């Protein structure tokens, strides 16, 4: 199970976060993002969460005003994809404390921290919720500490 990319799109069609796990040109990235934004926003809430696109499967899940979209290979398990999205959202919810779209906009670095602890090269690298949260909190502590100020200055 390897994820090719993860994109967060708002209901207004704005991209809030992207992560690409395969080498893709900027042009292709823009095309995929644009295509998927149009495709997913035009789907109703009760429609299937899995769509075929190019040579891959697109799995998306809507949480409040945000769509979490991932692309996986055709022979990968789509239910596993849905679970990974859900795990990511759950961990963000813990890391931020009731996460919302606004939290991700104004604290996007934390969303990337959580994602980087959860996924590496498109594969789940840490399945323990506690462990991911612990590492993200450690990074937060480091960022807020005086030592970090000294290091970057």
Residues that bind other proteins (CB under 8 A): 10-14, 38, 41-42, 44-45, 62-65, 101-102, 105-106
Of residues 74 and 102, the one with the C-beta less far from other proteins: 102
> What is the secondary structure of 21-72 as a DSSP string?
-S---HHHHHHHHHHHHHHHHTS-TTS-SEEEETTEEEEEEEETTEEEEEEE
Q: How far is the CB of 90 from other proteins (least distance, A)?
A: 14
Residue 148's φ and ψ, nearest 5 degrees, are: -65, -40
d(CA 10, CA 73): 24
Of residues 64 and 142, the one with the C-beta less far from other proteins: 64
Q: Tell me if 83 sits within 8 A of 19, measured CB to CB.
A: no
Of residues 102 and 152, the one with the C-beta less far from other proteins: 102
Q: How far is the CB of 113 from other proteins (least distance, A)?
A: 18
Q: How far is the CB of 43 from other proteins (least distance, A)?
A: 9
């Amino acid at each position: 199970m390897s994820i090719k990319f993860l994109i967060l799109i708002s209901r207004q069609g704005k991209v809030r976060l992207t992560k690409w796990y395969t080498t893709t040109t900027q042009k292709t990235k823009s095309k995929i993002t644009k295509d998927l934004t149009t495709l997913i926003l035009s789907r109703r809430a009760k429609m299937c969460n899995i769509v075929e696109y190019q040579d891959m499967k697109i799995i998306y899940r809507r949480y409040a005003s945000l769509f979490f979209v991932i692309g996986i290979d055709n022979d990968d398990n789509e239910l596993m994809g849905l679970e990974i999205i859900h795990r990511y959202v759950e961990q963000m919810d813990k890391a931020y404390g009731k996460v919302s779209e606004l939290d991700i906009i104004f604290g996007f670095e934390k969303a990337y921290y959580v994602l980087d602890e959860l996924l590496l090269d498109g594969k789940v690298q840490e399945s323990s919720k506690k462990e991911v949260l612990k590492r993200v909190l450690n990074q937060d502590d480091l960022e807020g500490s005086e030592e970090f100020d000294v290091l970057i200055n």
